Structure 1
Amino acid sequence: MRGQMGKKSKKAAADQERCVDFKVKTISVDGNKAKLAIWDTAGQERFRTLTPSYYRGAQGVILVYDVTRRDTFVKLDNWLNELETYCTRNDIVNMLVGNKIDKENREVDRNEGLKFARKHSMLFIEASAKTCDGVQCAFEELVEKIIQTPGLWESENQNKGVKLSHREESHGGGACGGYCSVL
């Protein structure tokens, strides 16, 4: 029947609502293989008490707002305050991503996002998780910036967050050319 969910689908949907999404992803940037440990709380308030533990030892953080919902952009200051409070390092790489650029009812202009990112010394990109436009680029740029900050990935940190294999000859420039705004 149409519109009905099976037991497994209902359980998966319920589990997804209760849990923080965790993924491990390996990407290659400028001859380096990077293994990323990605924790996604989707900005949900019910995970607010858990997020401080995710910040500890983090090498990079991506803050995402919905370009079709101004309230998500306005809350960025709160997330930045939380980062400053709970991050255990000063050299962490922060990236701002404006998501849902595939939608037409935009409430936050690209220039607003760029201005916010510049003000807070963050990398910036707009993307669409639905179409995957800009998603890979965001991770590649974040990893590239982490690579450029040796204190983030030297031996003491190899067991956390981004793990790098041997570095090959660098070709320079951004991982995505001019597609990302790297600040």
Structure 2
Amino acid sequence: MPENLDSDLNTESGKQVRQIKKKVLILGEGGVGKTTLLYRYVNKVFLDSTKMTIGSDFFVKKLKTIDEQYENRLTLLLWDFAGQERFRFILKDYTKGAEGVILVFDLVRYNTLQKLFNWIDILKEGGVWGNPDVKFYLVGSKRDLVPGNEQAIPTDIIEDFKKEFNIDSYFETSARDGTGIEDLFRTVAKSLIAQEDQK
């Protein structure tokens, strides 16, 4: 089991070093919090306001995990795509080479879950959806807004969505307080390294 996530990359484990780069797409409607989620993960801070992403943005996160055989030095190339419809024409060009896809919706805006159907259609067109070499993760954002909120999406609706699209990995996150973000990306890192082991 991987350990020592976020450790100093210069530490020597005495094991063979394996350099791994993985491209991960982060998709979802505008305003669901994709950029703030990534900013919280990469920079450990909450951005109270962000400018609308134009086209795409790009984050890099370097991790180290040690398993029985390797010291894995994993570079996550995190592509943050604009949620606005007018930018989607570029998406198919960027999907090539992706080995992970994070689908994000807002836990208190039902339409953002419904609109993931459109994103999945784009992934199908790009040959990504249904590809056994690509890992998929569903993320409900803004968990901090759920308690007592009548707009919160019922759990059974989220469960139905997961079953319909056969998505096992589901996380609820909050960029504001950090809930679930480390768990999400720890799972992403572990599954992408396991994917490398199977090659």
Same fold (TM over 0.5): yes
Deviation at 1:51, TM superposition (A): 1.4
Aligned-residue RMSD, C-alpha: 2.4
Q: Pick the structure with more strand per residue.
A: 2
2:59 counterpart SS class? strand
Shift in Å at residue 107 of structure 1?
2.7
Q: Which of 122, 129, 133 in structure 1 is aligned with 2:179?
A: 133
Structure 2 residue runs without a partner (length 5+): 1-49
Q: Aligned in 2, Cα 1:28/1:151: closer, same or farther, shift over 3 Å?
A: closer
Identity %: 32
* Equivalent residue number for residue 61 of structure 2: 25
CA contact 2:140–2:172 (8 Å) conserved in 1:
yes
Report the equivalent of 1:101.
143
Aligned mate of 1:62, from 62, 85, 102: 102
Deviation, 1:146, is: 2.0
Runs of 4+ in 1 over 4 A off after TM superposition: none
Deviations 1:7-38 (A, max 9, x none): xxxxxx77x55352211111234543321111
Q: How far apart, CA to CA, are the structure 2 residues paired with 1:120 and 1:45? A: 22
- Corresponding residue of 2:119: 79
Matched residue count: 140
State the SS of the aligned residue for 1:59: strand
Contact kept, 8 Å, 1:65 with 1:72, in 2: the verdict is yes
CA separation in 1, counterparts of 2:119 and 2:97? Answer: 17
Letter aligned with residue 160 of structure 2: K
Q: For 1:29-178, what aligned pairs fall within 5 Å after superposition? A: 29=65, 31=67, 32-87=72-127, 89-104=131-146, 105=149, 106-122=151-167, 123-150=169-196, 154=199
Partner Cα separation in structure 2 for residue 27 and residue 71 of structure 1: 34
Question: Which residue number in structure 2 is paired with residue 8 of structure 1?
Answer: none
Q: Which AA in structure 2 matches 1:95?
A: Y
Separation (CA, whole Å) in 2 of partners of 1:114 and 1:29: 31
Which shifted more, 36-45 or 107-116?
107-116
How far apart, CA to CA, are the structure 1 residues paired with 2:117 and 2:94? 18
Q: Which runs of 5+ in 1 are unaligned?
A: 1-12, 155-183
SS of structure 1 residue aligned to 2:137: strand
Quote the Cα distance in structure 2 between the aligned partners of 1:133 and 1:42. 23
